[in-house]
Every structure is written in structure tokens, then in C-alpha cells.
Amino acid sequence: MRSSSVNFEEAIEEARKAPIIDVVFSVIQLKRAGINYKALCPFHQEKTPSFCVFPKTNSFYCFGCHHGGDVIKFAELYFG
């Protein structure tokens, strides 16, 4: 049973390495903002973009609803 949990943990670690910009860009229209990207947040209604993707740290954060995290957290929030 241990080997399957190790494989699962390895799969999660591999998924964390996926470029967040590729994952987010596949479902949300992003605009470049310097070295980062901005968009309307997919997690709440807004008219001014407050959702940011930070490729350097492979993370995201919304300054409106305060959701943030890595690529796994984005997928969890977006896809359920």
C-alpha cells in the first residue's frame, strides 16, 4: 500500500511543477503586466482585474477575494 501513496505524492509534486501560466491561460484570458499577468478573477465578480499570476514563483493571488496558491490550489478552486 505504501508504494501507491508514494506514487500519488510523486504525481502531486510533478503537477506542482507545471507552469501555472499554462494552466491558468488555458481557462482564463490573461494580460501581461510587467513580469506578471492580470485578469478578472474567476472566483468572484469584478470589473477591474485583481487576479494576478506570478510565473517566477509559479503562483497566483487575487487581491479582491484573497484566494491564492500554487497550480494545484488553482485547479482545486477552479475545477472543484
CATH code, 65: 3.90.580.10
Residues 26-64 have pLDDT tens digits of 999 999 999 999 999 999 999 999 999 999 999 999 999
The label of the residue with cell 478573477 reads: 41
Residue 51, beta-bridge partner list: 39, 62
| Confidence band, pLDDT 50/70/90 cuts, at residue 8 | confident
Nearest to 53 by CA among 66, 65, 70: 70
Report the number of distinct structural domains present in the chain. 1
| C-alpha cell, 61 | 493571488
What is the domain range of residue 6? 2-79
